[in-house]
Structure 1
Amino acid sequence: MNDFDKDLNTAGDALRSLAEGPGVQAAEALEAAFGRAGQSIETALGQAARSGELDFERMAESILKDLARVAAESVAAMAGAQSGAQHAVTLNMNYAPGTEPSGRESEAAMSAMLARLVAGGGRFL
């Protein structure tokens, strides 16, 4: 077996491990989050039907908040935040040939900004 085949087998094993572990956990978290959002939307529609009051603006706002919460929970689940684990995130940046991007000197600033964005998403949980 040559090096390429060994690397290919190693990559396949790593992908299988990801799909059987964190991939399943993320899928289960997404399923639960969408289930809760669906129940919340169903409750809002049921209350509107019983009361005869249908305020589309409030209903739309409620649905958007539920969907934002689902998105934030999904990101947290994929990042391992729900289990308390800290996982690395890889950020790839592609620059046009011949350009000298100043972003290369500010990797720490980009990391800090990404951390703030992820932390800000927690308010939807």
Structure 2
Amino acid sequence: MADTDEAGNDVEYAVIAHYRLADAGLGDPTQREAVRQAGALLTEVIEQADVGEFDGNEYGGGEVAIYAYGSDADALFAVMVPILNDLPFRPSHVVLRYGSVVDPSAAEHRVEL
């Protein structure tokens, strides 16, 4: 059962993976292609497991962040982790957020990859 906020809306938990890229900009074309392919795989496994949705990625400052949302951060991470581990960029870590993005008191758990 999904958590709800004070207004009765479902709360979407987050799984946000962070990877360091080859340069201070957007990484090299090979890295961007690997992230694109990982995004396609993440979309597929998340939908098949019915645990949330892949929301895309964001590049900047020599990093890429990969976003997914669902009602159970642990279940979402469980289906994502094999694909996230396959991306070769390091250092990297994942933040599991247990609460709404607008809730400053929401718990977070950091996992190193």
Q: Which has the higher contact order (CA 8 A, sep 6+)?
A: 2
| Larger helix share, 1 or 2 | 1
Asked if Structure 1 and Structure 2 have the same fold, meaning a TM-score greater than 0.5 normalized by the shorter chain, the answer is: no
TM-score normalised by length of structure 1: 0.29
| Larger strand share, 1 or 2 | 2
TM-score normalised by length of structure 2: 0.32
